[in-house]
Amino acid sequence: MTPIVLINGAKRSKTTVFNRNTQFGDGLFETCVVESKNILFWPYHLARLNKGCKKLGIDQVDESFWLSDIRNALSISRLNNCVVKIILSRGESLRGYGFEDGIKPVRIVIVSEMPKSIPNQKLALDFCESGYASNPKLAGIKHCNRLEQILARADLKSDEGIMLDGDGDVISVTQGNIFSIYANTLNTPRLEHCGIEGTRRAIILEIASKLGLQINVGALSVDKLMESDEVFITNSVMGIQSVTKIGDMSFSSNGETESIKSAFEEKKQSMDAWLSVKKNKTFSRLIKLALIFVLGVWIWTSKDILVEDSQIYHLQKGATIDALAIDLHNKKLINSKAYFKISGMVVGASKKLQTGYYQLEPEMSVLSFLDKATSGDVVRQNITLIEGVTLDDYYLQLSQNPAVSVKKTLPELMQSLGMNEPYEGWIFPETYQITYGDSIQSIFSRAHESMKGQLDVMWQVKSDTLPFNAPYEAIILASLIEKETAHHQEKSMIAGVFLRRLSEGMRLQTDPSVIYALGDAYTGSLSKKDLRIESPYNTYRHKGLPPGAIGSVGYESLYAAFHPDNGNTLYFVSKKDGSHAFAETYQAHKDNIQQYLKGI
């Protein structure tokens, strides 16, 4: 029989040379099997076609046009059982890869007789010399550029050939997906970078799960394939075919494969009446209209996530689409578990769910949520750690943030980072982007690594004249500078004063060190009694640097500690505007005090 061809609904078999599918393979196709004028697993084919449209940016064709064309082609062919190939070209354009906005897609339907020879029970495979290139944009969909399969089959010497990727891992056979069974586990390649996600593949993964098989969708090496107990391949036309031989290695054709075949046939029978393309009588049309109405109402009432205000939802690690549907329904966040699971099946979400915290918004659709949950579009937040505060301040700030999880006390946390006391000063203050649910430990770890990085760079190029015996001493000095002034242009001058006082054996006599020593006892101003407090951090009583930093250190203060001013000043006093007056002698310093602090 000559195949029946419809182009945009009209019976003709010729298309223009300007069709982009002809010129570049710029299109998509699906090969469907019709039994008793019913399209088998049509929703899976349509979902994959629409997924391809989204990936390639081709305008989707409404399902009703496809079904109308298929009905007409089947009516002309008078075939009850056949193969229907549908092709969607981006459209027509002149030479050149570019195309204009608004280009109209071209749809083609071809009806052919079922192949007379389906692979027999003794199916032998071998490895193809030509394989796949990596292209995530094209992975999973059935685009019309099939040169990889053509080259792979060019030197085929067996019933079918196994195609590998650039890393030498198994991806598929030339005309279908491949599965192996070993130790009660069903293995099939991950298809993120190349290969086609077959419609039967998704169904088989569902069946295997219900049969109690473990499922592993991941890298499948040649060695792992050859160690399998059973191997089978699938596509729309051949169904499920057991492999008895790969090269010189033989495989069993019984066992789990036969159980999957039986379950697949039951699944096929249960879907026989769905999307029938038989001609409708008046009564059946009314029934269909009623069903469509009921289905429409069901979809309308089930399509959205049920929240009135924004809220966070935690998708637990290892959750399946079934468990997710149950949890959302129990929390009254969806109306229908069935609609949610079907939606997940159609968009292929079952094996792509990613744990994390997700933002639920009013009027968000189930499909939008599934898109977030499969792409890992989790809630993120910017957290700013400011300069000059203590670790206790940071810990309190983060522990009060609902986006941050608290699992350890501050001492436990710092010890888990491999740090010894004193801890102060080792956390670098800046803005960090976190994922909702991150722990304080993960944030502190990033901030600690950032500080070590900043410190290491400056330590490597430091002047030999600096008196630091260890990098942490620079942090201690920088923490005093940080608390003394917010004016960046003064920080090197203050660093110079401190280092000259240290060199001459003078006490630093810096108020922030006393405030740190007082802790909660500090009332907002320092008294003479406060300046006499016994503490190693009291720089009015003890010479040298305090034993640890008194707060966090910003980049400018750390830089100033390594690049002090080369002047002769030994004193400074705060002016009323927050800046400082510097002096080389004590008398000049007293004059500055009289000028700027008189009456305060």
DSSP 255-270: THHHHHHHHHHHHHHH
Looking at the predicted structure, is the pLDDT value of residue 555 above 60? yes
Q: Among 375, 398, 416, identify where a domain stops.
A: 375
Mean pLDDT of 17-22: 91
- What does the pLDDT read at residue 200? 93
| CA 142 and chain centroid, separation | 24
Q: Pick from 372, 367, 385, 399: which is nearest to 312 by CA?
A: 372
| CA 599 and chain centroid, separation | 62
Task: Flag whether 275 is in a domain.
Answer: no
- What does the pLDDT read at residue 117? 63
Structure tokens at 177: 């997906």
142 and 259 housed in the same domain:
yes
Alpha-carbon distance 342 to 117, whole Å?
A: 35
131 and 71 housed in the same domain:
no
- What does the pLDDT read at residue 279? 47
| Contact yes or no for 449/440 (Cβ under 8 A) | no
Q: Among 327, 346, 375, identify where a domain stops.
A: 375
Return the amino acid letter for 339: Y
Quick check: bond before 471 cis, omega within 30? no
39 and 159 housed in the same domain:
no
- What does the pLDDT read at residue 277? 46
Residue in the structure block whose two tokens are 């943030």: 401
Return the amino acid letter for 534: E
Looking at the predicted structure, is the pLDDT value of residue 281 above 60? no
CATH number at residue 22: 3.30.470.10
Give the percent of the chain with pLDDT over 90.
Answer: 75
Alpha-carbon distance 375 to 168, whole Å?
A: 27
- Convert the pLDDT of each residue in 205-234 to its tens digit: 999 999 999 999 999 999 999 999 999 999
**Hey, which residues does 235 pair with through a beta bridge?**
239
Mean pLDDT of 355-362: 92
**Number of helices followed by number of strands (H, E) in the chain:** 20, 21
Task: Flag whether 440 is in a domain.
Answer: no
Q: Among 61, 95, 113, identify where a domain stops.
A: 113
Concatenating the DSSP letter of every residue in 200-256 gives HHHHHHHHHHHTT-EEEEE-B-HHHHHT-SEEEEEETTTEEEEEEEETTEE-B-STH
Alpha-carbon distance 205 to 4, whole Å?
A: 34
**Mean pLDDT computed over every residue of the chain:** 91
| Contact yes or no for 522/483 (Cβ under 8 A) | no
500 and 367 housed in the same domain:
no
CA distances, 538 to each of 412, 420, 518, 548 (Å): 27, 22, 9, 11
Task: Flag whether 255 is in a domain.
Answer: yes
| Contact yes or no for 565/493 (Cβ under 8 A) | yes
Per-residue pLDDT band for 120 (boundaries 50, 70, 90) equals low
Per-residue pLDDT band for 119 (boundaries 50, 70, 90) equals low
Structure tokens at 208: 């295997």
37 and 158 housed in the same domain:
no
CA distances, 507 to each of 182, 303, 306, 546 (Å): 75, 72, 66, 11
Alpha-carbon distance 427 to 424, whole Å?
A: 8
Q: Which domain holds residue 370?
A: 284-375
Looking at beta carbons, which pairs linking 534-540 to residues 24 or more positions away fall under 8 Å? Answer: 537/513, 538/513, 538/514, 539/480, 539/507, 539/508, 539/509, 539/510, 539/513, 539/514, 540/507, 540/509, 540/514
| Other C-beta atoms lying within 10 Å of the C-beta of residue 218 | 11
Mean pLDDT of 356-377: 92
Mean pLDDT of 422-435: 93
Task: Flag whether 519 is in a domain.
Answer: yes
- Convert the pLDDT of each residue in 304-339 to its tens digit: 999 999 999 999 988 899 999 999 999 999 999 999
Q: Pick from 376, 357, 353: which is nearest to 314 by CA?
A: 357
- Convert the pLDDT of each residue in 142-178 to its tens digit: 999 999 999 999 988 888 999 999 999 999 999 999 9
Looking at the predicted structure, is the pLDDT value of residue 589 above 80? yes
206 and 245 housed in the same domain:
yes
> Is residue 334 left, alpha or beta, with left meaning phi > 0 and alpha meaning psi from -120 to 50?
beta
Count of structural domains, the chain: 4
Give just the sign of the alpha carbon dihedral 275, 280, 286, 287. negative
**Hey, which residues does 243 pair with through a beta bridge?**
123, 231
**Hey, which residues does 124 pair with through a beta bridge?**
245
| Phi, psi torsion values for 441, nearest 5 degrees | -60, -40
Task: Flag whether 383 is in a domain.
Answer: no
230 and 328 housed in the same domain:
no
Helices (H), 241-336: 256-270, 282-302, 321-330
Task: Flag whether 418 is in a domain.
Answer: no
263 and 289 housed in the same domain:
no
- Convert the pLDDT of each residue in 440-460 to its tens digit: 999 999 999 999 999 999 999
Per-residue pLDDT band for 469 (boundaries 50, 70, 90) equals very high
198 and 162 housed in the same domain:
yes
307 and 225 housed in the same domain:
no
Looking at the predicted structure, is the pLDDT value of residue 275 above 50? no
CATH number at residue 367: 3.30.1490.480
CATH number at residue 180: 3.20.10.10
210 and 314 housed in the same domain:
no
| Contact yes or no for 111/145 (Cβ under 8 A) | no
Task: Flag whether 313 is in a domain.
Answer: yes
232 and 293 housed in the same domain:
no
Task: Flag whether 434 is in a domain.
Answer: no
Alpha-carbon distance 145 to 20, whole Å?
A: 11
